[in-house]
Structure 1
């Protein structure tokens, strides 16, 4: 099968499960891509008649307010030769973190220290509290 088929990019992906959802990790050329999926928050949104894109929009707005590496512009991500960027383009998650391969160790430390221990609980808590609103 051709690697250009959408599902093929996840053939060698790894996943990490959390109480709030999961992270799907895959490699794409020079990048490590982590797709963050907020399962419980998505279920709350779906129960109130909203969709994945509503969750993505709300989460990314909150992420942008809390971290400097978030961008809506794909050009800096595709031309990246160091560091990492959070982008709102995940086909099934709420956002993706794209890491340049030479920065993998530092980025993983940042994910644990900043995203997992601080940003994600804060964002999910805020949006869960507002789940009945049209945030």
Structure 2
């Protein structure tokens, strides 16, 4: 007889729980910045390199336009980004940081360390975990 699956042995539940716990650690800092976690992810991508096309942002974050558009609209209303039509291709919308959005990166700089401190893992352990999770994500994307 096959044993019934147990919740405490499911990788999917461990990932779900870890994600929720990490987001909870970020929440107070993000609230101070006036950002939600998804908005923070958009800003991270733009702080790395901007301007970015809306499609490019969606591809990098794994978000469809129905999810990304309201995020960008809210960030624009907050004065952190501007959406503009591309000069080369009028069909393409490009997202630029405003000076306020750019300045916010300084205040957000300590956020990754906060997670590291809360996790109690060394930098090497966190890097190994991130690498493993990226490999898992890539494999699962290929599987479907």
TM-score range (shorter-chain normalised) is under 0.3
Q: Which has the higher helix share?
A: 2
Q: Scaled by the length of structure 2, what TM-score is found? A: 0.23
Q: Find the structure with the greater CA-based Rg.
A: 2
Q: Which has the higher strand share?
A: 1
Greater RCO, 1 or 2 (C-alpha within 8 Å, sep 6+): 1
Q: Scaled by the length of structure 1, what TM-score is found? A: 0.24
